[in-house]
Amino acid sequence: MSAIKTKRIALNETARAYNDARAFEYANSDDIQVVKIQMSITHPRTDICDYYAGVDKYGLGAGVYPKDKAPVPHFHPFCRCQMIPKYAGEYSKPKLNANADKEYLLGLKEWQRARILGSKAKANEALKTGDINSVFNAMKPERYKVKSINEVAGNLGIIRDLNETDNMIENEKFNKIIGNILDGNIIKDKSKQLAIVGNIPLKYKKQIESLLGKKLVSKDIAITQNEIWHAIRGSKPNHKKASSEDIYNIPNILASNKHIYFDKAKNNLLYFSKSINQTQHIIYIAINLNYIIKAFGEDNYIITISKFKNSDYKSRIKTLVKLRG
């Protein structure tokens, strides 16, 4: 991987973690009622940021949204847009304008519409549907779709029961571990070699404990620097390695609560998800419920990562118990 791509991934994921933490904070504040999307003063060219910061969908002004509906940056690589919280009493009651996207596009020149959506064809599609966000998101992998504050905060609430500050710290630790490994380096500070990336889904807790035959001793799921190193740079055959994009996607896989199985032979909790950039493969996350690492006075279950071909999926799950909420 080139140094430029490595830097881009590290910077973008750190910024994404920061904005997600802010979304969680705003969603849980009774004082914050609306959020304004503000572009950087050094924004270089017309793109999707202009739409999110410029459309008036709720009669509150350009780029101002009820907080639950506000889009959360990162809108594109190296995006520098910010969410500015506004407080109760600063704005009137929001009223959705269903034609806002179409009116916004019609107020632009053709080349501006094409820049915002990526092409004239996509701009024309957005004009026809009147839904810029849906057309834009349809071009993006799930991890990079633009989500509202409510959607992001909901995921973070599932991912782990931490306050917004701790949430951001764990995200930054996770992203820093990956960034260093992509650069061929390791973090020597032991306190920064492990990051929480998820938790045991509460709705499956009783079922898991019944299958396990004992109480769970922790809710936290963590990943170690060593596991990420072997997953990305190890000497396993290439088809078993996970890409950096798949590693970055682990918290989302754990948060989605889909395709979770229990291996009674090994007491492993298993998650499956399609690889982001190699769709013929499936990412396989195993959590050994017999093994605990204690870090910072807390017990953590540790994950291991691998990958296998789609064609092997049915045989892999044949003897497993699928968890049902």
Q: Helix or strand or coil: residue 76?
A: coil
Sign of CA dihedral 15, 16, 18, 22: positive
| Mean of pLDDT values over 10-19 | 74
Give the pLDDT of residue 154.
Answer: 64
Give 184-225 pLDDT, tens digit per residue. Answer: 788 888 888 888 888 888 888 999 999 999 999 988 899 999
Separation in Å, CA 205 to CA 131, 200, 210, 214, 216: 40, 7, 9, 11, 8
| Mean of pLDDT values over 17-29 | 79
Rounding to the nearest 10 degrees, give the CA dihedral for residues 277, 192, 272, 293: 160
Query: Higher pLDDT residue, 150 or 51?
Result: 51
Measure the CA–CA gap between 140 and 124, rounded to whole angstroms.
18
Amino acid found at 195: A
Q: Tally the C-alpha atoms within 13 A of residue 120's C-alpha that lie toward its C-beta.
A: 3
pLDDT of 238 strictly over 50: no
Confidence band for 160, pLDDT divided at 50, 70 and 90: very low
Structural domain boundaries in the chain = 3-13+32-150, 160-322
- Which residues have a Cβ under 8 Å from the Cβ of 4 and sit 6 or more positions away? none
Q: Helix or strand or coil: residue 148?
A: strand
Q: Helices 164-182 and 3-27, interaxial angle, to 10°?
A: 170
Instruction: Provide the mean pLDDT of the chain.
Output: 84
- Structure token digits, residue 169: 């710290």
Contact 195, 14 (CB under 8 A): no
Sign of CA dihedral 77, 81, 87, 91: negative
Please list the alpha-helical segments (H only) found in 64-109: 100-106
pTM above 0.75, yes or no: no
Give 122-153 pLDDT, tens digit per residue. Answer: 999 999 999 999 999 999 887 789 999 888 77
Give 251-264 pLDDT, tens digit per residue. Answer: 878 877 678 999 99
Give the other-Cβ count within 10 Å of 316's Cβ.
Answer: 15
* 20-34 b/e (C-beta count within 10 Å ≥ 16 → b): bbbbbbbbeeeebbb
pLDDT of 305 strictly over 80: yes
Give 262-295 pLDDT, tens digit per residue. Answer: 999 999 999 998 887 677 888 889 999 998 888 7
